Amino acid sequence: MLPAILKFFKGYLKRFGILTAALSIVCLFLFFAAIIPANAFQTAGTFDYSQKYVGGVHLEMNATSEAYDASVPRNAAGEKLKLVGTFRVTHYCPCTICTFGTGITASGKKVAVGMIAADWKVLPQGTKVYIKHGDALLEKVVEDKGGAINGNDIDVFVPTHSQALAMGVYTAEVYVDPETVLP
């Protein structure tokens, strides 16, 4: 690469002369001086606070941290979420294998995507929860409960039985909005 640049510059000098080349260099310097703020080099790398939104999760960084901290999820309003605990997450559908087949939740609503079943002694009906799964933060609402759902268990509604099987069972951190009062 360098030999090609030197060859170009040598041909440029031969063709246009030393004065033109010197003026070109001065013009380039003035151009870059005009577009780069005077304090850009003094402030580069210093910061007090910044936020970054990645994969559904707000990440925060301050002057004391070296890198982004993915363990500080935030809701849409930018508020830090409150950790409830680590939960066992399963999946269910409206079929007769997963439910009684009525398609109605314990809260009386028709089952729909975005609903979860939980132990109402841990997460009461109507509680908006955030399930941190990998880099994603899944927002769900507690609308159902089940006989097999006790303590730190969550059952996420999905439309089909094949999806319920494919999603499997995993553990995840569960958060709620900071103003949520839990039993």
Residues 129 and 142: beta-carbon distance below 8 Å: yes
Rounded Cα distance, 178 and 157, in Å: 25
> Helices in the chain by DSSP H: which ranges?
2-16, 18-35, 40-43, 161-167
- For residue 33, the SS3 value is helix
The structural architecture, per CATH, of the domain 82-176 is: Beta Barrel (2.40)
CA 151 to chain centroid, in Å, comes to 27
Q: How far apart are CA 179 and CA 183, in angstroms?
A: 13
Mode of pairing for the β-strands spanning 153-157 and 115-118:
antiparallel
> What's 70's DSSP letter?
T
Q: Worst-scoring range by mean pLDDT, 9-13, 121-125, 172-176?
A: 9-13
Residue 53 parent element (H or E)? strand 49-54
Read off the pLDDT of residues 151-171 as tens digits, 9 standing for 90 and up: 999 998 888 888 888 888 999
pLDDT for residue 89: 92
Instruction: For residue range 75-106, list pLDDT tens digits in order.
Output: 777 788 889 999 999 988 887 777 766 777 77
Q: Give the CB-side neighbour count of residue 23, counting CA atoms within 13 A.
A: 5
* pLDDT average, residue stretch 14-23: 66
Amino acid at 13: L
Question: Taking the domains of the chain in order of start, what are their residue ranges?
Answer: 2-43, 82-176
